[in-house]
Amino acid sequence: MQFTCNHPWPRAVMTILMMAGASFATAGAAPALPLPAPRNLPDNGLARTPPMGWNSWNHFAGRITDADVRAMANAMVATGMKDAGYVYVNIDDTWEGKRNAAGEIQPNEKFPDMKALADYVHAKGLKLGIYSSPGPTTCAKFEGSYGHELQDARTYAAWGIDYLKYDYCGASDVYQLTLDNQRGVFQKMGEALAKVERPIVYSLSLGNVHEPWKWGAGTGANLWRTTDDIKDNWTSMESNGFAQLAITGYVKPGHWNDPDMLEVGNGGMTADEYRTHMSLWAMLSAPLLAGNDLRTMTGETKSILLNREVIAVDQEAMPKAAHRIDTRGDMDIIARTMNDGSVVVGLFNRGKSDVDMSFDLAEIRRGKTPKPAVVRDLWAHTTAAVDKGRVSVNVPSHGVSLLRVASNDAGK
Ligand code: GLA
C-alpha cells in the first residue's frame, strides 16, 4: 500500500494511518538500508537569514519545465524581486528521470540539461534549487535518492545546485515513521551534502509528528517544514501560520521553522488575507518562497511580495522570537522586539467583520512608561497617529495592521 505525501489525504491523516499501520514496507521489498547513528552535524554556515526565493510547486505542481524555470528567473529580475532579496529559484518535484547505468540520476524530458539551466540562473545573479526524497520515490512518485544519497549530492554539486528540498514522503515505503528513522534519513543526506564542495542549503520537508524543530539542525538542515502542505485558502494559511507561535523559540540563524511556501498572488485569498500571510511569515522569520506565476503579477501582488519594510522584518539578522501578547475577541496581537529596540506589532483580525480598536503603547512595552514613540505603518508606508500614548487602527476582516513602534528620543 502506498501513500503519497500531498494527495489524496492531508499529511496529518496520512501520518496517523502510517503510525497505526506500523510498517508500510512493500511486501517482498529488500530490507531497509541501515541509517547512520544519530549525531549532531556541524552548522553548514548557510541561510543566516531565512531563505528568500520562489518554488515551482504551488503554481505549477507537476507541469514545471526548464522553460518555466528560466521564465521565472527572468521575471524575478524584471519585477525587482531579486533586488528585494529573492534569490533562490527552486524546482520542486517532477523534474526527475531515471538513473543511468552508473546509477546517476538524470532529469526527465522536461529538463533537457540541468547544468545549462543552473548556468542560466546563475548568470542572472540567482541560485537554483532542486527537490528529492530519502525514499525510493518522491511524493509524486518520481525517482528518489534512496541508496544514492552521496551520489546525488555529488550530481547536484556538479550541476551547480544551491538548495535541496528533501521530502520524507517516499521514505515511508521503506521505513516506519519513527523519530530515529526520520532523523536518520535526513542526517544521511546532511552528511552527503557536507562531503561535497558546493554550499547547498538543506531544507527538510516532513510533517510535524516528531517535532523537527527540536532536532532538524542536528541533521545539517537549515530549515524544516513544520506543517501540512499549505493551500491557497484562508483556513490553511491561518492554521499553518498561527500554529508557529508555539515554536518561535527554535528559530535561529541558519535554522528556520518553515510553515510552507507563500501562496500570495495565486488567487485563492483576498489581498487582506495575503497581507496577513506575508506579515505573519515575516514576524515568524519564515522562509519567503513565493509560489505564484511571477510573469503575471498584479500591482497588488507586487506590493505585497515586494514590501521592503515587511521583508526587512523577516530578514533581520539574529531575530528575537515573536510572541502573542494578547487576544481580544477575534484580534490576535503578536509582537517581536527588533534588534534596534523597536517593536513590530501585528494586529491580526481573524474574524469575519472589520474591527476598530485602539491600544496603549505601554501595553506592548510590557508596562513600561512609553517614551514618545514613532509608529510606522508597514503596509500604508505612513507614520500612524499617536494620541496620548494610544494608537487607533481599523483592521479589516482577515486583515492585519502591522506597526513598527520606535522610541522618538528626539521628542523627549
Ligand atoms: C509534498 C510537499 C510539497 C511538495 C510535494 C511534491 O506534498 O509537502 O511541498 O513538495 O510533496 O510532490
Residues 172 and 227 in one domain: yes
Are residues 273 and 148 part of one domain?
Answer: yes
For residues 374 and 352, the answer to whether their CB atoms sit within 8 Å is no
* pLDDT score of 329 more than 60: yes
- On whether residue 383 sits in a domain, the answer given is yes
160: three-class secondary structure by DSSP: coil
Q: Does position 168 have pLDDT exceeding 60, yes or no? A: yes
Q: Is 229 in the pocket of ligand 1 (CB under 6 A)?
A: yes
Determine if the peptide bond prior to 8 is cis (ω within 30°): yes
Residue 341 belongs to some domain of the structure: yes
Q: What is the average pLDDT across 33-56?
A: 98
What's the pLDDT at 19? 38
Domain that holds residue 396: 323-407
Q: At what angle do helices 234-243 and 271-283 cross, to 10 degrees?
A: 20
User: Cβ distance 129 to 121 under 8 Å?
Assistant: no
Reduce the DSSP state of residue 397 to 3 states and report it. coil
Nearby residues of 102 by Cβ (< 8 Å), 6 or more positions away:
none
Rounded mean pLDDT of 268-286? Answer: 98
Q: Looking at the structure, do residues 73 and 209 belong to the same domain, yes or no? A: yes
> Does residue 127 fall inside a structural domain?
yes
Assess whether the C-beta atom of 5 lies below 6 angstroms from ligand 1: yes
Residue 127 has pLDDT above 90, yes or no: yes
Alpha-carbon span 285 to 242, nearest angstrom: 13
Instruction: Classify residue 156: in a domain, yes or no.
Output: yes
HSE, side-chain direction, 13 A CA sphere, residue 137 = 12
**Active-site residue (options: 162, 228, 229, 232):** 229
**Per the domain annotation, does 4 fall within a domain?**
no
Examine the domain organization and report whether 71 and 41 are in the same domain: yes
Query: Would the CB of 140 count as within 6 Å of ligand 1?
Result: yes
Of the three residues 314, 342, 365, the one that is the final residue of a domain is 314
Is residue 401 located within the same domain as residue 265?
no
Whether residue 155 is contained in a domain is answered as yes
Looking at the structure, do residues 89 and 151 belong to the same domain, yes or no? yes
- 92 in ligand 1 pocket by Cβ < 6 Å? yes
**Residue 184 confidence (pLDDT):** 98
Grid cell, residue 285, equals 522569520
Q: Pick the residue with more confidence: 399 or 373?
A: 399
* Best of 55, 57, 165, 168 for a ligand 1 pocket test (most atoms within 8 Å of beta carbon): 57
Contacts of 179 (CB under 8 A, 6+ apart): 210, 215
> Is 86 in the same domain as 160?
yes
364 phi, psi to nearest 5 deg: -85, -15
**44 confidence band (pLDDT: 50, 70, 90):** very high
Q: Please determine, for residue 287, whether its predicted confidence score (pLDDT) is greater than 60.
A: yes
In a shared domain, residues 327 and 270: no
Which is it for the CA torsion 51, 55, 58, 62, positive or negative? negative
Are 298 and 328 members of one domain? no
Residues 184 and 101 in one domain: yes
Distance 72 CA to ligand 1 centre (A): 19
- Please check whether residue 14 lies inside any domain of the structure: no
Return the pLDDT at 367. Answer: 52
Q: Coil, strand or helix: which one is 51?
A: coil
Annotation says 152 is catalytic = no
Looking at residue 407, its pLDDT comes to: 83
**Co-location of 382 and 305 in the same domain:** no
Nearest-atom index, ligand 1, CA of 131: 10
Exactly one of 93, 167, 173, 293 is catalytic; name it.
167
Active site residue 293: no
Asked if 139 and 265 sit in the same domain, the reply is yes
Contact 169, 4 (CB under 8 A): yes
Confidence category of residue 214, pLDDT binned at 50, 70, 90:
very high
Q: How confident is the model at residue 210 (pLDDT cuts 50, 70, 90)?
A: very high
* Count of structural domains, the chain: 2
Residue 15 pLDDT grade (very low, low, confident, very high; cuts 50, 70, 90): very low
Query: What per-residue confidence (pLDDT) applies to 365?
Result: 66
Q: Read off the amino acid at residue 396.
A: P
